[in-house]
Chains A and B, each alone.
Chain A
Amino acid sequence: MSAVHTPIEALVTVDNIHTYYGKSHILHGVSLYVGAGEVVGLLGRNGVGKSTTLKTVMGLARSSQGQVLLAGRSITGLPAHTLARLGIAYVPEDRRIFRFLTVMENLRTGLDRHGVTAARKRELLDKVFTYFPVLAERRGQPGGTLSGGEQQMLAIARAMMLEPRIILLDEPTEGLMPRMVSQIGQIIGALHRDGVAILLVEQNVPLTLEASERIYIMEKGMVRHHCAASDLKVNDAVIHQYLGV
Chain B
Amino acid sequence: MAAILEIFAAIPYDQILVQTVNGIVTGMILALVASGLTLIFGIMDVVNFAHGELFMLGAYMGVVVLATTGSFWLALLLATLVIALLGAALQIVTLRPLLGRDPLTTILATFGISLVLQNYALWQFGPVARKIQEPLTGGFQLFYLEYPWYRLMIAGLSAVIIGAFWLFLKYGTWGIWIRATTQDRVMAQAMGIPVPRVHTAVFAIGAGMAAASGVLFGPLVGVNHAMGLDWVLKAFIVVVVGGMGNLGGSIAAAIFISLLEAYASIWVSPAQAVIVSFAVLILTLLIRPTGLFVPTPK
Contact = CB atoms under 8 A, between A and B. Distances in A.
Note whether A and B form a binding pair. yes
Interface stretch (A66-74, A109-117, A185-193): A109-117
Most B CB atoms within 10 A — which of A59, A81, A85, A96?
A81
A233 interface: no
Main secondary structure of the interface of A (DSSP, over half): loop
Interface residues of A, number: 25
A186 B191 CA distance: 24
Interface in A93-113: 96-101, 105, 108-110, 112-113
Nearest to B190: A90
Given A84-B191, A84-B192, A113-B192, A108 B176 contact: yes
Contacts of B192: 81, 84-85, 109-110, 113, 162
A60 B179 contact: no
B183 A109 contact: no
Nearest to A60: B186
B229 interface: no
- Among the interface residues B184, B189, B195, which one has the most CB atoms of the partner chain A within 10 A? B189
B217 to A, nearest CB: 32
B189 A80 contact: yes
B187 interface: yes
B191 A109 contact: yes
B184 A81 contact: no
Contacts of A108: 173, 176
A96 B187 contact: yes
Contacts of A47: none
A105 B175 CA distance: 10
B295 to A, nearest CB: 12
B190 A60 contact: yes
Interface in B160-182: 173, 176-177, 179-180
Given A81-B194, A99-B183, 6 more contacts: A81-B189, A90-B190, A101-B179, A109-B176, A109-B193, A110-B192
The 5 closest A-B pairs by CB, nearest first: A84-B192, A80-B189, A90-B190, A109-B191, A112-B173
Interface of B: 173, 176-177, 179-180, 183-184, 186-195
20 contacts: A58-B190, A59-B189, A60-B189, A81-B188, A81-B190, A84-B189, A84-B191, A85-B192, A98-B187, A99-B183, A100-B179, A101-B179, A105-B180, A109-B176, A109-B192, A109-B193, A112-B173, A112-B176, A158-B191, A162-B191
